[in-house]
Amino acid sequence: MNQSPPWREWLIGNKDSEAGLVKAAQRGDQNAYNTLIRHHETLLLCFLVRRVGSNAAEDVRQETLLAAWTGLPKFGRKVRFKTWLLGIAVHKCADHFRHAERQGVHLPLEIVENISAEVEADTSSAVSEAVQDLLTKLPSDQREVLALYYESELTLAEVAQVLERNPNTVKAQFYRAHKQIKQQLPQEMVTQNSMQSSVR
């Protein structure tokens, strides 16, 4: 009779077993690493599709998984594996965005529409185009915060954890980005509703 793999209990709800999987993967156990990735692959792929678009998501996913495997020996388990994996994905997305900017490629429409919703309930073509232009001009650190907040539906505290930044720094970047976008949009495009009252 075949024994169940050591990570089976974790997959059915044993919260303590993820640490064992990570330890095994850090010792070079490819099966343990693959099991960790399978558990998070849907979340990771959806995260990347929302960040970089469906065309680029698979390439960035492969870069993320390679970086995670090579960096696993240094993973100190101070955060959950999922949070650590998304942190790597964020850096790979940033690399993608920098390359896209050099090539003159627009950001995915999904990001534009979510940010546009903050300044106008009806995301008209004019508003989307205006926000698209302003987003590409934001510093990458501000753009990362906005994308994680809206596209991944994280709180600002969670964004700070994923990006490994001070929470106060993330809040400042979040509000600064919104202020910059709203100040540069035509007045008729800016909603009278306060963004700050609904921040998570």
| DSSP per residue, 94-119 | HHHHHHHHHHTPPPPHHHHHHHHHHH
Nearest of 50, 149, 151, 150 to residue 160 by alpha carbon: 149
**Residue 189 exposure: Cα atoms within 13 Å on the Cβ side:** 20
| Alpha carbon distance 54, 71 (integer Å) | 26
Nearest of 180, 171, 175 to residue 194 by alpha carbon: 175
Question: Which residues, in sequence order, are CB contacts of 147 under 8 Å at separation 6+?
Answer: 50, 51, 93, 111
Q: What is the pLDDT of residues 46-103, one digit of tens each?
A: 888 877 888 889 999 999 999 999 999 888 767 778 888 988 998 898 888 777 665 5
- Residue 100: per-residue pLDDT: 64
Q: What is the pLDDT of residues 8-25, one digit of tens each?
A: 444 433 444 788 888 889
3-state DSSP call for residue 83?
helix
Q: What is the pLDDT of residues 161-188, one digit of tens each?
A: 888 899 999 999 999 988 888 787 766 5
* pLDDT level of residue 194 (50, 70, 90 thresholds): very low
* pLDDT level of residue 127 (50, 70, 90 thresholds): low
| Alpha carbon distance 144, 141 (integer Å) | 5
Domains and CATH numbers, the chain: 10-105 (1.10.1740.10), 107-200 (1.10.10.10)
pTM over 0.85: no
For residue 18, the one-letter residue type is: E
- Residue 7: per-residue pLDDT: 42
- Residue 37: per-residue pLDDT: 92
Q: Dihedral of CA 12/13/16/22: which sign?
A: positive
| Alpha carbon distance 192, 10 (integer Å) | 48
| The token pair that represents 63 in the structure block | 């870069």
Q: Dihedral of CA 16/22/25/31: which sign?
A: positive
- Residue 33: per-residue pLDDT: 92
- Residue 105: per-residue pLDDT: 52
